[in-house]
Chain A
């Protein structure tokens, strides 16, 4: 399922993709950790946006679109980016490693764990790109 970013349909599409993609299942088989994304308004996004994914051993156990951040107070990773930077990653204009290393994507949580699992991070981004048909 593909959809326009950002939308609840897009997040559901990503969940579905992560649970059906064989390569992701293999690459991310050791990954343990949920993520919450905070997207700061910029360009086409007028209000802050939050979305949540619970990733576990190559699957996506649940997603939540624009939840109350208090609901997920202790995620393993918290990621923050502006709308333009996140859409640049999704459209392939910004390399995800560049985004992290240049602080365009701020990461809270164990960066060491992230570095140890870069292939998982890159394959997650691949899946996210593949479900993105357009940017709002």
Chain B
């Protein structure tokens, strides 16, 4: 891979940092390599928004090539809401552009004296003033920065007003609607007074060890991906394609995870979108799937259409079934620069507490919080992004909101990150995905709901279990997490339904390795355990591997009515499969040694 550009915003000092070869081999790139690079600097005493806390933008070894779904990059650091490892992936074109500019990472520390943006133009860095951009939304900022640097084809990663004001679930955005939404890294960027990073490059030869071989493998894999059933569904209907099926299984939560079915589910499905407001599709760099939606509403403007998480967050979760309204709420969050999953989840808790009488009109400035009220939702988004009134509390996420009103147990979150919209009562594997994810309740560290729906992979050692099985599927979940950790180190989109052998072939050709599937999976396992160790050092223990109370209660209706997740059995089986210590929650010494993490073992166990 190419060097990382280190930038200290306090001193203005920069340095090109070559990635150690051994780490590149052991961790590949992306999130796993970022974990290795940041291992020594993510310390418990550092606040996520302290100037000394690093923020790392990373590519993978095949980013920017014409390989399958490799247009993504990842941003890593420490989460303001979780205080743990933070990792957020984002599509579009920015990552490839950074590569074309000659770097595979940006390692940012310090805090600028005043708002700035970075302009990386064919390898040259310029720090520019951004006071005039402070207060602009994410869409406007991208446009203005492109105008200022004089390149309409530059790519710009930005924060909005939410990131400037330190909303704990502020994200980083690029390419008008591509989102690194989760874990609040927009607030970390804002704390550094960094409004945007613009990149442009025209490097055409990327560092691939066996480029001829790589070209053959990536062509074949793209051809196969085009023919794949799942790719075709995603292209035709977007990520909301499975909304009906998810609702049928009782896996699409409604009314803040208290209602197991939603009669109007079809109104918010990908199929309904395609029959009503859809006017096109969009794709990230070199992607043959093109799951992105483009929609046209009554004002005639073409805009980003919502994906599954945004749809459920502002739809069934809040008892709204109007796709146009959901589109507008999603865009409002995008413009402010806030994660739609956490925003909708936190608002859902506010509605729940209002219904319970814990939040009153006195707390909301007279605003009534009633299910299905789109106007109230919109007002709460404004208040949150501006940190005004009740929005000051909502800006800290659902755990803080629950705690503030004496009902922390009502918050549907794990370790400070709001649960996404794949209910483990419908797809039980998600119980472990949420409880053990290194970044809190995340659906992308292991999208095991896909396996519970039937997307098994025998070649990857991921077999079939019933969607309501318990401990017997724990090792399968761990295996799936390892595989997805490989995806996240390549920074490859998890929608690429490609065989593991093809993935190995791509890695071998790009990195000059001679791996088999098992060696690739071991790399994933290493990355997963390293992130776990970082969190252990930050204070995470066995007690953190939990599910919120609401998810442990059965639904009264829907496709999973009556089902209770056997969580204790599952987590015990998971620990056994992982080789983790039940008392401390740490990976055991022998596990760390087996993965080549001797230094980490010494740190954790002495």
Contacts and interface: CB of A to CB of B under 8 A. Distances in A.
Contacts of A113: 271
A112 to B, nearest CB: 4
Contact of B233 (A96, A102, A112): A112
A98 B229 contact: no
Interface in B290-304: none
B338 to A, nearest CB: 30
Contact of A115 (B228, B237, B454, B457): B237
A95 B454 contact: yes
Interface stretch (B179-187, B240-248, B528-536): B240-248
A112 B454 contact: no
Contacts of A8: none
A98 B271 contact: no
Interface in B258-276: 266, 269-271, 274
Interface stretch (A55-63, A103-111, A126-134): A103-111
Contact of B456 (A98, A115, A118): A98
B453 interface: yes
B470 to A, nearest CB: 18
A135 interface: no
B455 A112 contact: no
A112 B229 contact: no
A101 B229 contact: yes
B271 A101 contact: no
Contact of A100 (B229, B241, B269): B229
Interface residues of B, number: 26
B501 interface: no
Q: Classify the secondary structure of B's interface with A.
A: helix
Contacts of A49: none
Contacts of A115: 233, 237, 241-242, 244-245, 270-271
A45 B455 CA distance: 27
Nearest to A119: B248
A96 B464 CA distance: 12
A97 interface: yes
Contacts of A118: 244-245, 248
B248 A112 contact: no
B455 A98 contact: yes
B136 interface: no
A101 B230 contact: yes
B304 to A, nearest CB: 20
A112 B230 CA distance: 10
Interface string A15-37: 00000000000000000000000
A116 interface: yes
Contacts of A100: 229, 454
Nearest to A106: B229
Contacts of A112: 233, 236-237, 241, 270-271, 274
B450 interface: yes
Given A112-B271, A113-B271, A101 B241 contact: no
A100 B232 CA distance: 12
A99 B453 CA distance: 11
Contact of B228 (A96, A99, A103): A103
A111 B453 contact: no
B393 to A, nearest CB: 39
Contacts of A98: 454-456, 464
A126 B244 CA distance: 19
Interface in A27-84: none
A110 to B, nearest CB: 7
Nearest to A115: B241
Interface in B380-397: none
Nearest to B266: A116
Contacts of A119: 248
B229 A107 contact: yes
Which of B229, B245, B271, B450 has the most CB atoms of chain A within a 10 A radius of its CB? B229
A102 B454 contact: yes
A97 B236 CA distance: 18
Interface string B454-468: 111100000010000
A97 B229 CA distance: 11
A102 B456 contact: yes
A42 B61 CA distance: 40
A102 B244 contact: no
Interface string B467-490: 000000000000000000000000
A111 B455 contact: no
15 contacts: A96-B454, A98-B454, A102-B457, A106-B229, A111-B232, A111-B233, A112-B236, A112-B274, A115-B242, A115-B245, A115-B271, A116-B266, A116-B269, A116-B271, A118-B248
Interface of A: 95-103, 106-107, 110-119
Interface of B: 227-230, 232-233, 236-237, 241-242, 244-245, 248, 266, 269-271, 274, 450, 453-457, 464, 497
Given A98-B456, A119-B248, 4 more contacts: A101-B453, A101-B455, A115-B242, A115-B270
Chain A to chain B: the 5 pairs with minimum beta-carbon distance, closest first: A97-B454, A98-B454, A101-B455, A112-B237, A112-B236
